[in-house]
């Protein structure tokens, strides 16, 4: 791994970035490119790079670097770019708070509890996995129930197998990738059980991680009981009805010694809450404007801490935007005020950013609530007088949609609320 430059924490930093994954490192680079002189990235782990360091499979960077990289390769590149552009990286350091005057309070192995002066800040703390507690699976509490990402860390970074016979609850990407990874290590993956009638991971992962290895995917099925005293011995699974209620009369037992839970990620937003930032109740991340600025002036956010991305390339794009505006804000330049408010309409879970300016090009990221074929993304003004339609062949909740919108498309929405619906054609 590339060693990071020792940070000198005295004096005022132009931009301090909390979290050194691809979002934080990309934002730091963009801040330097925008003219910020002193930029510091703080990461709580021993090495910066984020979750990518444990993702040893390929499939990263096709958009951003125009080649297929593994997670550590992608992380290595963004770290190297940041260091080559003079960014300071302080690892083993936890960002505790960003005070109203933008001083950052951190606790580091090297410096203890420290306050760093900054002119602008970027939040990029990533996301964490939802656990068994989040969905309250009944049954005993034996060893052998763990999240898919933790299993990935055990296998890829620590060289340990979590078990020999594994069932996976949830068809999120991490679970799918672990189904393949464990199979390649000689573990028997007995099946993936998904509550919804459709898979929750990217289609390419369904094909490359399950179908290619003959691992069964049971849709509309969930785990209703975990059995075992010391260690998991089996799980009971059951199909669910149209209201997602388990049909216990049709339940069956699946012998296994491990249950991996892959039921999604949530933004790591303790810091955002601590700062009393306005949060989006759907994404659980901060509300941001088109410059990725949060409800607090001079504090920007990007990556999984704002909303969960399936591709790191889009994280890098968002980081470029947040970092650029943070770099400019540190030099006293404010982004122009947004004049269009965005809201999620029919079959749209959320959209980010939460507002736009009719003067610039933007990428709006959104997720649908349910899959739909032959659909149309419709932008409508609040009185319904103006609409703009974009046809799409199919949409899936697992695949984030990125929608390019520009001044021509937005001209009739000036000063208005713009609603986004995804409707059947
Ligand atoms: C298992 C898995 C497989 C994936 N597979 C793919 C794939 O094949 N292709 C693809 O393109 N994308 C993939 N992704 C998605 C991609 O890796 C993520 O979208 C991306 O890593 C998110 O970047 P981030 O910087 O926002 O968050 P992270 O990478 O999570 O980085 C956040 C960083 O912030 C640090 N941090 C958190 N809180 C604090 C704090 N208070 N103080 C200091 N530091 C803090 C953390 O230690 C971490 O280093 C995958 C993700 C996972 C989890």
Is residue 229 domain-shared with residue 351, that is, in the same domain? no
How does pLDDT run across 180-237, given as a tens digit for each residue?
Answer: 999 999 999 999 999 999 999 988 999 999 999 999 999 999 999 999 999 999 999 9
Q: Do residues 316 and 350 both lie within one domain?
A: no
Model confidence at 336, pLDDT cuts 50, 70, 90, reads confident
Name the nearest CA neighbour of 42 among 20, 22, 26, 14: 20
pLDDT in tens, 285-312: 999 999 999 999 999 999 999 999 989 9
Residue 203 in any domain: the answer is yes
How far apart, in Å, are the Cα atoms of 101 and each of 98, 112, 257, 331, 390?
Answer: 8, 21, 52, 16, 43
Q: How far apart are CA 3 and CA 371, in angstroms?
A: 44
CA distance 20 to 78: 10
Read off the pTM: 0.95
Residue 230, SS3? coil
The last residue of a domain, from among 209, 240, 263? 263
Asked if residue 172 has its Cβ within 6 Å of ligand 1, the reply is no
Note whether residue 193 is domain-resident: yes
Q: Averaged over 334-356, what is the pLDDT?
A: 94
Same domain, 34 and 88: yes
Distances from the Cα of 246 to the Cα of 71, 111, 132, 133, 197, angstroms: 37, 52, 17, 18, 13
Last residue of a domain, one of 263, 280, 309: 263
Please report the pLDDT score of residue 181 as a whole number.
97
HSE of 350 in the Cβ direction (CA atoms, 13 Å)? 19
Whether 109 is in a domain gets the answer yes
H or E stretch at 146:
strand 145-147
What is the tally of helices (H) and strands (E) in the chain?
A: 9, 27
Cα separation, 342 vs 248, in Å, equals 42
Here the CATH number for the domain that contains residue 355 is 2.60.40
Residue 372 belongs to a domain = yes
Q: Is the pLDDT reported for residue 1 higher than 70?
A: no
Which residue matches tokens 């001044």?
Answer: 407
What is the spatial distance between Cα 425 and Cα 404, in angstroms, rounded to a whole number? Answer: 20
Listed residue (236, 197, 115, 137) closest to 371, CA to CA? 197
CATH number, domain at 17?
A: 3.50.50.60
Looking at the structure, tell me whether residues 16 and 84 fall in a common domain.
Answer: yes
Same domain, 113 and 51: yes
pLDDT at position 176 over 80 = yes
Closest atom of ligand 1 to CA, residue 96: 41
High-pLDDT (> 90) share of the chain, %: 87
Query: Are 124 and 144 found together in one domain?
Result: no
Closest CA to 367 of 353, 390, 381, 347: 347
389 in the same domain as 293: no
Domain boundaries, position 68: 12-128+266-330
Given a contact cutoff of 8 angstroms between Cβ atoms, the answer to whether 338 and 289 are in contact is: yes
| 173 in contact with ligand 1, CB cutoff 6 A | yes
Quick check: 411 pLDDT over 90? no
H/E element, 317: helix 312-330
Please report the atom of ligand 1 found closest to the CA of residue 173: 3
Among residues 212, 235, 263, the one where a domain terminates is 263
124 CB near ligand 1 (under 6 Å): yes
Any domain includes 238: yes
The pLDDT of residue 11: 87
The domain tally of the chain equals 3
Assess whether 142 and 214 both reside in one domain: yes
Q: Can you give the pLDDT at residue 19?
A: 98
Q: What is the mean pLDDT of residues 11-34?
A: 97
- Examine residue 305 and state whether it is found in any structural domain, yes or no: yes
What's the mean per-residue pLDDT of the chain?
A: 94
Domain check: are 234 and 316 in the same one?
no
Question: How far apart are the C-alpha atoms of 346 and 372, rounded to whole Å?
Answer: 12
In 3-state terms, what secondary structure has residue 77?
A: helix
pLDDT one-digit tens code per residue, 371-404: 999 999 999 998 888 899 999 999 999 999 999 9
**Ligand 1 contact, 52 CB (< 6 A):** yes
Closest-CA residue, ligand 1 atom 32, reads 126
d(CA 397, CA 369): 6
pLDDT at residue 8, as a whole number: 67
pLDDT recorded at residue 370: 94
Q: What pLDDT score does 256 carry?
A: 98
Is the CB–ligand 1 distance for residue 271 below 6 Å? yes
Is 146 in the same domain as 259?
Answer: yes
pLDDT of 6 over the 60 cut:
no
Going by alpha carbons, the residue nearest to atom 8 of ligand 1 is 59
Residue 32, in any domain of the structure = yes
In-domain check, residue 192: yes
pLDDT tens column, 109-153: 888 999 999 999 999 999 999 887 777 787 778 999 999 999 999
- Contacts of 287 by beta carbon, 8 Å cutoff, 6+ apart: 277, 278, 279, 280, 294, 295, 354
Whether residues 175 and 223 fall in one domain: yes
Question: Is residue 382 left, alpha or beta, with left meaning phi > 0 and alpha meaning psi from -120 to 50?
Answer: alpha
Asked whether residue 171 falls in the same domain as residue 100, the answer is no
Q: Give one word for 58, left, alpha or beta, with left for phi > 0 and alpha for psi -120 to 50.
A: beta
Position 295 scores a pLDDT of 97
Alpha-carbon gap, residue 329 to 335, rounded angstroms: 8
Q: Given a cut of 70, is residue 162 above it in pLDDT?
A: yes
Q: Whose CA is nearest to atom 49 of ligand 1?
A: 50
């Amino acid at each position: 791994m590339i060693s990071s430059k020792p940070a000198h924490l005295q004096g005022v930093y132009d931009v301090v970035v909390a979290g050194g994954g691809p979002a934080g490192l990309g934002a730091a680079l963009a801040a330097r490119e925008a003219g910020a002189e002193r930029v510091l990235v703080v990461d709580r782990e021993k090495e910066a790079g984020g979750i990518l360091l444990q993702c040893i499979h390929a499939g990263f960077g096709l958009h951003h670097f125009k080649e297929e990289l593994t997670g550590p390769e992608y992380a290595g590149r963004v770290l190297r770019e940041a260091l080559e552009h003079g960014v300071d990286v302080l690892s083993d350091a936890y960002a505790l708070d960003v005070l109203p005057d933008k001083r950052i309070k951190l606790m580091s192995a090297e410096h203890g509890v420290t306050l760093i002066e900054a002119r602008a800040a970027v939040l990029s703390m990533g996301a964490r996995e939802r656990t068994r507690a989040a969905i309250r699976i009944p049954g005993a509490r034996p060893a052998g129930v763990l999240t898919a990402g933790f299993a990935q860390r055990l296998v890829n970074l620590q060289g340990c197998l979590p078990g020999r016979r594994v069932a996976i609850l949830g068809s999120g990407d991490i679970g799918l990738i672990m189904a393949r990874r464990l199979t390649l290590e000689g573990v028997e993956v007995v099946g993936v059980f998904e509550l919804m009638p459709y898979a929750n991971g990217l289609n390419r992962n369904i094909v490359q991680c399950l179908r290619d290895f003959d691992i069964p995917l049971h849709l509309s099925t969930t785990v209703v009981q975990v059995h075992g005293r010391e260690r998991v011995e089996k799980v009971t699974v059951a199909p669910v009805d149209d209201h997602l209620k388990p049909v216990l009369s049709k339940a069956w037992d699946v012998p296994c010694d491990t249950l991996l839970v892959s039921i999604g990620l949530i933004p790591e937003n303790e810091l955002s809450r601590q700062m009393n930032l306005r949060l989006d109740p759907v994404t659980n991340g901060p509300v941001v404007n088109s410059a990725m600025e949060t409800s607090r002036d001079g504090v920007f956010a990007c990556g999984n801490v704002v909303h969960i991305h399936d591709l790191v390339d889009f994280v890098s794009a968002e980081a470029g935007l947040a970092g650029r505006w943070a770099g400019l804000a540190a030099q006293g330049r404010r982004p122009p005020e947004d004049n269009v408010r965005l809201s999620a309409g029919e079959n749209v879970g959320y959209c980010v950013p939460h507002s736009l300016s009719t003067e610039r090009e933007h990428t709006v990221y959104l997720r649908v609530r349910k899959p739909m074929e032959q659909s149309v993304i419709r932008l409508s003004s609040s009185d319904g007088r103006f609409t703009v339609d974009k046809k799409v062949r199919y949409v899936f909740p697992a695949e984030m949609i990125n929608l390019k919108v520009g001044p021509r498309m937005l001209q009739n929405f000036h000063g208005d609320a713009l609603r986004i619906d995804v409707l059947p054609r």
